[in-house]
Structure 1
Amino acid sequence: MTGDGNRGRATVIDVTQARDARIHNFLLGGHDHYESDRDAVRRLMGLAPNTPQLARINREFLERAVRYLSAQCGIGQFLDHGCGLPTRENVHQIARRAGTDARVVYIDNDPVVLAHARMMLDGDSTLILDADLLDFSTILDRSERAGMLDRAAPVAVLFTSVLHCIADTRNPWRHVRELINQLPSGSVLVLSHLAGEDHASNEEASELMRELTGQQWAQIRSFADVARFFDGLEPLGGPIGDVARWRPAAGLSLRPADRTWTVYGGVARKR
């Protein structure tokens, strides 16, 4: 993976504070986590025992979406926002297995994620950016200057299980829409978000995660609020909804018996 100009900055990791990326790493069977992260999962599972299964459903959706966009839609550029700590194949590896020599820009600002990516990923067609997920002007400019983004060709924009970290006060819907508006026709939004229709349950779990992650989390949203991210876009490969039902594959994780929360989202194209 090519550099992002921040290699000289010291990385300070607070292992006593749970972090979203390390929590997901633990849920998916990875090894890059600490007791604070494992404790956060144990406490969250007190409210949602199916939390590990929801994490697997989300990851399987990401893998299916990247394969589909690479092999069947010819997408060769990906912006992966909040890429997290890989426990399985990275986006560029999934795309290449599908037969596309894709260029992939990974965007995150978690020091553990950045350090891991710089050590483990290489190649001329991948880039890691230390950036705010919603600072699309910086992301697009730096990606283009690095030769990783052709704004004349369609781009797949990935926000999988990350926008729960962005509060309503920052208006993530506006930021996602403005990013898509900067990209050419044929570009695609891939988005998933933990969602539920019981407001009290949503807020109880969100408050717990805000406490455990030092306010890194923001909130679980309603289905309607997640669907708003796709306004003006054309659903692709299936409807917006439960991502476990988006182009399901053999061996897919079963739907959880507890339906309090769903990984909600889909894939949609800019006309």
Structure 2
Amino acid sequence: ILTPVYDPFFNAIEINNRITVKSDLKLVKNHYEIDFDDLAVKIKDVKILLFCSPHNPVGRVWERAELEKVAEICLENEVLIISDEIHADLVYDSYQHIPIAKLSKQVNEICIMLNAPSKTFNIAGLSAAYAIISNEDLRIKFQKTIDMNRLSRGNIFGMLALETAYEKGEIWLEKLLHYLARNYDYLTEFFSKEVPEIKPVTIEGTYLTWLNCKSLNLDQESLIDFFINKAKVGLTSGEQYGAAGRGFMRLNFGCPRQILAEALENIKAAVRN
């Protein structure tokens, strides 16, 4: 896994009695990049790469060249790619999400792509998700595992919501992306002018911002306490996404502007006092 990363990735590995191998992303000029040298070394004894695209929590929308390099390393080492692409629709202007399986027929054969309408259309409670697996052998193994564990194949309400969202939700999504982009611009300008001690990492997609709080000079436990008990804002601890997330907090700005503004003012007051 490329850390920091969505925390259920860790549990998915451990609950299946597998060993977690972590390759830390590099923060370069307030923008995360894959450390391909590190990845190429660590992947040699690995069977599966759990890949997050677009990336949660650092907000990267991987470029074609980056995806091609990831795929090349996996092909060379016969590593299966399981790509979580649940934020695929939440990409901002001038960026484009590229499903890694679409790079080539060869790459498609080693990919399992996972997605759902839950993030884009806020229908997580309906439990509707899907996997795209072109490789027939992989698809049979995947289905067998689903059947062996008696996992739900969904429900009629979720299926209908999924179909309706994808067929009729485009105009709504366009308006959502515009609103989210303005929220992101608002919070980045606010931190820059009002609380420069906290620096949002540059993001390209998702409705999540990764706050670099290292200038506050607090350990992670104190940082959590600061936001919850002093600022009265419930953010997610960066350490929840792996050791590489120490000194960071994740903020969800997918909310009404009024709520975001109130939260930012609380953070400002807590830092100043």
Give TM-score, length-normalised by structure 2.
0.35
In the superposition, the TM-score normalised over structure 1's length comes to 0.35
Larger CA Rg, structure 1 vs 2: 2
Q: Looking at both structures, which has the greater relative contact order when contacts are Cα pairs under 8 Å and sequence separation is at least 6?
A: 1
Higher percent of residues as helix: 2
